[in-house]
Amino acid sequence: MKRKEFLKKSIIATVAGTSILSACAPDKKLDTEQTNTINYNKIHRWKMVTTWPPNFPVLGEAANLFAEMVEKMSGGRLLIKVFGGGQLVPPLEAFDTVASGTVEMGCGAAYYWTGKSPATQFFAAVPFGMNAQMLNSWLVSGGGYELWKEVYARFNLIPLMGGNSGVQMGGWFNREINSIEDFKGLKMRIPGLGGKVIEKAGAAAVLVAGSELYTSLERGVIDALEWVGPYHDYKMGFHKIAKYYYSPGWHEPGTELEFFMNNKAYEKLSSDLKEIVQSASQRIQNWMLAEFDFQNAIYYQKILEEEKVEVKKFPKPVLDSLKNYTVQSLEEVIGSDPISKKVYEHYKDFLKKASVYNKLTEEAYYNLIAK
Protein backbone atom coordinates (compact mmCIF):
# COMPACT_ATOMS: atom_id res chain seq x y z
CA MET A 1 0.00 0.00 0.00
CA LYS A 2 1.32 3.41 -0.90
CA ARG A 3 2.11 5.84 1.90
CA LYS A 4 -0.48 8.40 0.69
CA GLU A 5 -3.27 5.83 0.63
CA PHE A 6 -2.25 4.51 4.06
CA LEU A 7 -2.49 7.97 5.62
CA LYS A 8 -5.84 8.61 3.91
CA LYS A 9 -7.34 5.40 5.28
CA SER A 10 -5.89 6.06 8.75
CA ILE A 11 -7.51 9.48 8.91
CA ILE A 12 -10.88 8.10 7.79
CA ALA A 13 -10.64 5.36 10.42
CA THR A 14 -9.78 7.84 13.15
CA VAL A 15 -12.70 10.11 12.29
CA ALA A 16 -15.05 7.16 12.13
CA GLY A 17 -13.81 5.85 15.46
CA THR A 18 -14.29 9.24 17.08
CA SER A 19 -17.84 9.42 15.74
CA ILE A 20 -18.62 5.97 17.14
CA LEU A 21 -17.20 6.91 20.57
CA SER A 22 -19.21 10.14 20.54
CA ALA A 23 -22.35 8.25 19.67
CA CYS A 24 -21.75 5.78 22.48
CA ALA A 25 -20.96 8.51 25.06
CA PRO A 26 -23.76 9.63 27.41
CA ASP A 27 -25.88 12.38 25.88
CA LYS A 28 -25.21 15.52 27.89
CA LYS A 29 -25.32 19.23 27.28
CA LEU A 30 -21.99 20.85 26.55
CA ASP A 31 -20.72 22.16 29.89
CA THR A 32 -19.22 25.56 29.24
CA GLU A 33 -18.05 25.77 32.84
CA GLN A 34 -15.73 22.85 32.11
CA THR A 35 -14.57 23.71 28.60
CA ASN A 36 -14.63 27.52 28.72
CA THR A 37 -14.72 27.46 24.93
CA ILE A 38 -18.02 29.13 24.07
CA ASN A 39 -17.44 32.39 25.98
CA TYR A 40 -13.67 32.33 26.02
CA ASN A 41 -13.27 35.07 23.44
CA LYS A 42 -16.16 37.20 24.65
CA ILE A 43 -15.21 40.57 26.12
CA HIS A 44 -17.17 41.61 29.19
CA ARG A 45 -17.36 45.31 30.03
CA TRP A 46 -18.34 46.11 33.60
CA LYS A 47 -18.82 49.30 35.58
CA MET A 48 -17.83 49.57 39.25
CA VAL A 49 -19.30 52.30 41.46
CA THR A 50 -17.60 53.09 44.75
CA THR A 51 -18.38 54.88 47.98
CA TRP A 52 -14.96 56.58 47.89
CA PRO A 53 -13.93 59.79 46.14
CA PRO A 54 -12.15 59.16 42.83
CA ASN A 55 -8.64 57.77 43.38
CA PHE A 56 -9.00 58.11 47.16
CA PRO A 57 -5.77 56.95 48.86
CA VAL A 58 -5.70 53.19 49.54
CA LEU A 59 -9.50 52.68 49.42
CA GLY A 60 -10.13 54.17 46.00
CA GLU A 61 -6.74 52.97 44.82
CA ALA A 62 -7.78 49.43 45.73
CA ALA A 63 -10.73 49.64 43.33
CA ASN A 64 -8.45 50.83 40.52
CA LEU A 65 -5.87 48.15 41.32
CA PHE A 66 -8.54 45.45 41.32
CA ALA A 67 -9.68 46.49 37.84
CA GLU A 68 -6.09 46.51 36.57
CA MET A 69 -5.41 43.04 37.99
CA VAL A 70 -8.54 41.57 36.43
CA GLU A 71 -7.78 43.07 33.02
CA LYS A 72 -4.24 41.69 33.02
CA MET A 73 -5.14 38.23 34.31
CA SER A 74 -8.04 37.89 31.88
CA GLY A 75 -6.03 39.05 28.89
CA GLY A 76 -8.46 41.92 28.43
CA ARG A 77 -11.58 39.73 28.42
CA LEU A 78 -13.02 41.37 31.56
CA LEU A 79 -12.72 45.15 31.56
CA ILE A 80 -13.92 47.08 34.62
CA LYS A 81 -14.33 50.87 34.55
CA VAL A 82 -14.19 52.40 38.03
CA PHE A 83 -16.35 55.37 39.02
CA GLY A 84 -15.66 57.23 42.25
CA GLY A 85 -18.49 58.21 44.54
CA GLY A 86 -20.65 60.86 42.85
CA GLN A 87 -19.24 60.33 39.37
CA LEU A 88 -22.01 57.98 38.27
CA VAL A 89 -24.22 57.64 41.36
CA PRO A 90 -24.06 59.11 44.89
CA PRO A 91 -21.68 57.12 47.14
CA LEU A 92 -24.33 55.54 49.35
CA GLU A 93 -26.46 54.46 46.39
CA ALA A 94 -23.82 51.98 45.23
CA PHE A 95 -25.52 49.03 46.94
CA ASP A 96 -28.91 49.57 45.30
CA THR A 97 -27.36 50.38 41.93
CA VAL A 98 -25.52 47.06 41.79
CA ALA A 99 -28.42 45.10 43.29
CA SER A 100 -30.72 46.37 40.53
CA GLY A 101 -28.24 45.38 37.83
CA THR A 102 -27.80 48.95 36.59
CA VAL A 103 -24.06 48.38 36.99
CA GLU A 104 -22.23 45.14 37.61
CA MET A 105 -20.03 45.89 40.60
CA GLY A 106 -19.53 48.09 43.66
CA CYS A 107 -16.92 48.87 46.29
CA GLY A 108 -17.45 50.09 49.83
CA ALA A 109 -17.85 48.85 53.41
CA ALA A 110 -20.64 46.58 54.61
CA TYR A 111 -21.64 48.74 57.60
CA TYR A 112 -22.92 51.37 55.15
CA TRP A 113 -25.84 49.05 54.38
CA THR A 114 -27.27 48.52 57.88
CA GLY A 115 -30.47 50.14 56.67
CA LYS A 116 -30.85 47.22 54.25
CA SER A 117 -29.92 44.58 56.81
CA PRO A 118 -28.43 45.13 60.28
CA ALA A 119 -26.42 41.92 59.77
CA THR A 120 -24.21 43.60 57.17
CA GLN A 121 -22.19 45.50 59.79
CA PHE A 122 -20.75 42.29 61.23
CA PHE A 123 -18.76 41.87 58.01
CA ALA A 124 -17.13 45.30 58.37
CA ALA A 125 -16.44 46.32 61.97
CA VAL A 126 -17.86 45.63 65.42
CA PRO A 127 -16.80 47.77 68.40
CA PHE A 128 -14.47 45.74 70.63
CA GLY A 129 -14.72 42.98 68.04
CA MET A 130 -12.25 41.19 65.80
CA ASN A 131 -9.06 42.76 64.55
CA ALA A 132 -7.93 42.31 60.94
CA GLN A 133 -6.18 38.99 61.53
CA MET A 134 -9.11 37.45 63.40
CA LEU A 135 -11.68 38.73 60.90
CA ASN A 136 -9.70 37.39 57.97
CA SER A 137 -9.50 33.98 59.66
CA TRP A 138 -13.23 33.96 60.36
CA LEU A 139 -14.09 34.91 56.79
CA VAL A 140 -11.62 32.67 54.98
CA SER A 141 -11.54 29.57 57.18
CA GLY A 142 -14.20 29.97 59.85
CA GLY A 143 -17.37 30.09 57.77
CA GLY A 144 -17.90 33.84 57.98
CA TYR A 145 -17.76 34.36 54.23
CA GLU A 146 -20.56 31.83 53.69
CA LEU A 147 -22.76 33.82 56.06
CA TRP A 148 -21.82 37.03 54.26
CA LYS A 149 -22.91 35.50 50.95
CA GLU A 150 -26.15 34.35 52.55
CA VAL A 151 -26.98 37.88 53.75
CA TYR A 152 -26.16 39.49 50.38
CA ALA A 153 -27.96 36.83 48.33
CA ARG A 154 -31.27 38.36 49.42
CA PHE A 155 -30.28 41.45 47.43
CA ASN A 156 -29.04 39.60 44.34
CA LEU A 157 -25.45 40.39 45.31
CA ILE A 158 -22.23 38.44 45.83
CA PRO A 159 -19.69 39.96 48.25
CA LEU A 160 -15.93 39.80 47.83
CA MET A 161 -13.31 40.63 50.44
CA GLY A 162 -11.72 43.95 49.57
CA GLY A 163 -8.98 44.61 52.13
CA ASN A 164 -8.78 45.65 55.76
CA SER A 165 -7.70 48.89 57.44
CA GLY A 166 -6.33 47.25 60.58
CA VAL A 167 -7.01 48.83 63.98
CA GLN A 168 -8.04 52.44 63.42
CA MET A 169 -7.40 55.42 65.66
CA GLY A 170 -9.95 56.58 68.20
CA GLY A 171 -10.37 60.01 66.68
CA TRP A 172 -9.62 63.72 66.95
CA PHE A 173 -11.07 65.72 69.85
CA ASN A 174 -11.12 69.37 70.81
CA ARG A 175 -11.56 68.42 74.45
CA GLU A 176 -9.89 65.84 76.67
CA ILE A 177 -11.67 62.61 77.48
CA ASN A 178 -10.86 61.81 81.10
CA SER A 179 -14.10 60.05 82.04
CA ILE A 180 -17.21 58.72 80.35
CA GLU A 181 -18.96 61.88 81.52
CA ASP A 182 -16.92 63.86 79.00
CA PHE A 183 -18.97 62.29 76.21
CA LYS A 184 -22.14 64.02 77.38
CA GLY A 185 -23.13 66.70 74.91
CA LEU A 186 -20.23 65.81 72.58
CA LYS A 187 -21.03 66.05 68.87
CA MET A 188 -18.92 63.49 67.04
CA ARG A 189 -18.75 62.20 63.52
CA ILE A 190 -18.76 58.43 63.92
CA PRO A 191 -20.70 55.83 61.87
CA GLY A 192 -22.33 52.49 62.51
CA LEU A 193 -22.51 50.77 65.85
CA GLY A 194 -19.87 53.11 67.25
CA GLY A 195 -22.34 55.95 66.84
CA LYS A 196 -25.04 54.07 68.74
CA VAL A 197 -22.57 53.35 71.53
CA ILE A 198 -21.53 56.96 72.14
CA GLU A 199 -25.18 58.02 72.06
CA LYS A 200 -25.75 55.77 75.06
CA ALA A 201 -22.94 57.72 76.76
CA GLY A 202 -24.79 60.97 76.11
CA ALA A 203 -23.04 62.09 72.93
CA ALA A 204 -24.58 62.87 69.56
CA ALA A 205 -23.40 60.83 66.58
CA VAL A 206 -23.35 63.12 63.55
CA LEU A 207 -23.05 62.02 59.92
CA VAL A 208 -20.85 64.41 57.96
CA ALA A 209 -19.57 63.91 54.42
CA GLY A 210 -15.84 63.35 54.19
CA SER A 211 -15.39 66.52 52.16
CA GLU A 212 -16.96 68.56 54.98
CA LEU A 213 -15.13 67.08 57.95
CA TYR A 214 -12.33 69.63 58.16
CA THR A 215 -14.56 72.70 58.08
CA SER A 216 -17.11 71.10 60.41
CA LEU A 217 -14.48 70.47 63.07
CA GLU A 218 -12.79 73.82 62.50
CA ARG A 219 -16.04 75.77 62.87
CA GLY A 220 -17.33 73.81 65.86
CA VAL A 221 -20.20 72.12 64.03
CA ILE A 222 -18.75 68.95 65.55
CA ASP A 223 -16.46 68.58 68.57
CA ALA A 224 -14.75 65.39 67.49
CA LEU A 225 -14.42 62.99 64.59
CA GLU A 226 -12.96 59.65 63.67
CA TRP A 227 -11.74 58.99 60.16
CA VAL A 228 -9.24 56.18 59.58
CA GLY A 229 -5.69 56.48 60.86
CA PRO A 230 -2.51 58.60 60.67
CA TYR A 231 -2.07 58.39 56.89
CA HIS A 232 -5.52 59.62 55.93
CA ASP A 233 -5.90 61.87 58.97
CA TYR A 234 -2.68 63.74 58.22
CA LYS A 235 -3.62 64.12 54.57
CA MET A 236 -6.96 65.61 55.68
CA GLY A 237 -5.12 68.12 57.91
CA PHE A 238 -6.93 67.29 61.14
CA HIS A 239 -3.71 67.84 63.09
CA LYS A 240 -3.98 71.54 62.25
CA ILE A 241 -7.34 72.06 63.95
CA ALA A 242 -7.63 69.45 66.75
CA LYS A 243 -5.40 69.16 69.80
CA TYR A 244 -6.07 65.63 71.02
CA TYR A 245 -5.56 62.43 69.00
CA TYR A 246 -6.88 59.37 70.81
CA SER A 247 -6.27 55.64 70.55
CA PRO A 248 -7.24 52.88 70.22
CA GLY A 249 -10.03 52.69 67.64
CA TRP A 250 -12.33 50.67 69.90
CA HIS A 251 -15.17 51.25 67.41
CA GLU A 252 -13.27 49.89 64.38
CA PRO A 253 -10.64 47.35 65.48
CA GLY A 254 -10.14 45.96 61.98
CA THR A 255 -12.51 47.27 59.35
CA GLU A 256 -13.11 44.96 56.40
CA LEU A 257 -13.72 46.62 53.04
CA GLU A 258 -15.61 44.98 50.22
CA PHE A 259 -16.39 44.55 46.57
CA PHE A 260 -19.86 43.33 45.64
CA MET A 261 -21.15 42.02 42.34
CA ASN A 262 -24.55 41.65 40.75
CA ASN A 263 -25.27 37.92 40.82
CA LYS A 264 -26.67 37.73 37.27
CA ALA A 265 -23.65 39.55 35.86
CA TYR A 266 -21.28 37.23 37.72
CA GLU A 267 -23.04 34.10 36.46
CA LYS A 268 -22.53 35.23 32.87
CA LEU A 269 -18.75 34.90 33.34
CA SER A 270 -16.91 31.75 32.31
CA SER A 271 -15.37 29.74 35.15
CA ASP A 272 -11.85 31.06 34.55
CA LEU A 273 -13.05 34.67 34.74
CA LYS A 274 -14.86 33.87 37.98
CA GLU A 275 -11.61 32.50 39.40
CA ILE A 276 -9.75 35.60 38.23
CA VAL A 277 -12.23 37.85 40.05
CA GLN A 278 -11.86 35.79 43.23
CA SER A 279 -8.07 35.83 42.92
CA ALA A 280 -7.94 39.61 42.49
CA SER A 281 -10.09 39.97 45.61
CA GLN A 282 -7.60 37.98 47.69
CA ARG A 283 -4.67 39.96 46.32
CA ILE A 284 -6.37 43.20 47.34
CA GLN A 285 -7.15 41.67 50.74
CA ASN A 286 -3.43 41.14 51.28
CA TRP A 287 -2.25 44.42 49.74
CA MET A 288 -4.52 46.80 51.60
CA LEU A 289 -3.54 45.85 55.15
CA ALA A 290 0.13 45.96 54.19
CA GLU A 291 -0.34 49.41 52.63
CA PHE A 292 -2.21 50.75 55.65
CA ASP A 293 0.39 49.45 58.11
CA PHE A 294 3.23 50.87 56.01
CA GLN A 295 1.73 54.33 55.47
CA ASN A 296 0.34 54.69 58.99
CA ALA A 297 3.74 53.97 60.53
CA ILE A 298 5.28 56.76 58.43
CA TYR A 299 2.54 59.32 58.97
CA TYR A 300 2.25 58.65 62.69
CA GLN A 301 5.80 59.93 63.01
CA LYS A 302 4.78 63.06 61.12
CA ILE A 303 1.91 63.62 63.55
CA LEU A 304 4.25 63.17 66.53
CA GLU A 305 6.39 65.98 65.12
CA GLU A 306 3.44 68.37 65.26
CA GLU A 307 3.89 70.39 68.48
CA LYS A 308 0.19 71.17 68.81
CA VAL A 309 -1.00 67.55 68.85
CA GLU A 310 -1.22 65.45 72.00
CA VAL A 311 -1.50 61.71 71.32
CA LYS A 312 -3.40 60.12 74.18
CA LYS A 313 -5.00 56.80 75.11
CA PHE A 314 -8.57 56.53 76.29
CA PRO A 315 -8.54 55.81 80.05
CA LYS A 316 -9.45 52.22 80.89
CA PRO A 317 -12.65 53.19 82.80
CA VAL A 318 -13.83 55.02 79.66
CA LEU A 319 -13.17 51.98 77.48
CA ASP A 320 -14.90 49.73 80.03
CA SER A 321 -18.00 51.91 79.91
CA LEU A 322 -17.98 52.01 76.11
CA LYS A 323 -17.67 48.23 76.05
CA ASN A 324 -20.72 47.86 78.29
CA TYR A 325 -22.70 50.20 76.02
CA THR A 326 -21.55 48.12 73.06
CA VAL A 327 -23.04 44.97 74.61
CA GLN A 328 -26.34 46.80 75.06
CA SER A 329 -26.30 48.05 71.48
CA LEU A 330 -25.58 44.60 70.08
CA GLU A 331 -28.39 43.05 72.11
CA GLU A 332 -30.78 45.58 70.61
CA VAL A 333 -29.62 44.75 67.07
CA ILE A 334 -29.83 40.97 67.34
CA GLY A 335 -32.99 41.07 69.41
CA SER A 336 -35.01 42.50 66.53
CA ASP A 337 -33.42 40.70 63.56
CA PRO A 338 -33.06 36.90 63.35
CA ILE A 339 -30.37 36.89 60.63
CA SER A 340 -28.30 39.37 62.66
CA LYS A 341 -28.60 37.08 65.67
CA LYS A 342 -27.47 34.09 63.58
CA VAL A 343 -24.44 35.94 62.19
CA TYR A 344 -23.42 37.54 65.48
CA GLU A 345 -23.63 34.32 67.46
CA HIS A 346 -21.27 32.73 64.92
CA TYR A 347 -19.02 35.81 65.00
CA LYS A 348 -18.93 35.95 68.79
CA ASP A 349 -18.09 32.26 69.13
CA PHE A 350 -15.01 32.61 66.93
CA LEU A 351 -13.98 35.89 68.60
CA LYS A 352 -13.95 34.19 72.00
CA LYS A 353 -11.77 31.33 70.80
CA ALA A 354 -9.39 33.59 68.87
CA SER A 355 -9.03 36.01 71.80
CA VAL A 356 -8.00 33.25 74.22
CA TYR A 357 -5.32 31.99 71.84
CA ASN A 358 -4.12 35.49 70.92
CA LYS A 359 -3.46 36.33 74.56
CA LEU A 360 -1.03 33.44 74.58
CA THR A 361 0.67 34.44 71.32
CA GLU A 362 0.07 37.81 69.64
CA GLU A 363 -0.57 39.85 72.79
CA ALA A 364 2.29 38.20 74.67
CA TYR A 365 4.67 38.90 71.80
CA TYR A 366 3.62 42.55 71.39
CA ASN A 367 4.18 43.09 75.10
CA LEU A 368 7.59 41.45 74.81
CA ILE A 369 8.91 43.64 71.99
CA ALA A 370 7.34 46.81 73.39
CA LYS A 371 9.70 46.71 76.38
Q: List, for residues 270-305, the tens digit of each pLDDT value.
A: 999 999 999 999 999 999 999 999 999 999 999 999
Give per-residue pLDDT as tens, 108-156: 999 999 999 999 999 999 999 999 999 999 999 999 999 999 999 999 9
Q: For residue 108, count CB atoms less than 10 angstroms from its CB and return exposed for 0-12, middle for 13-18, buried for 19 or more.
A: buried
Looking at residue 93, its amino acid is: E
Q: Is the pLDDT of residue 248 over 70?
A: yes
Rounded Cα distance, 167 and 292, in Å: 10
The CATH code of the domain at 44-165+254-293 is 3.40.190.170
Distance CA 325, CA 28 (A): 59
How far apart are the C-alpha atoms of 272 and 34, rounded to whole Å?
A: 9
Strand-pair category, 187-189 with 244-247: unpaired
pLDDT at 371: 66
Bond before 248 cis per omega within 30 degrees = yes
- Estimate the crossing angle of helix 338-360 against helix 362-370, to 10 degrees: 50
Mean pLDDT for the stretch of residues 49-70: 96
What lies within 8 Å, CB to CB, of 156 at 6+ separation is: 99, 101, 262, 263, 264
pTM for this prediction:
0.86
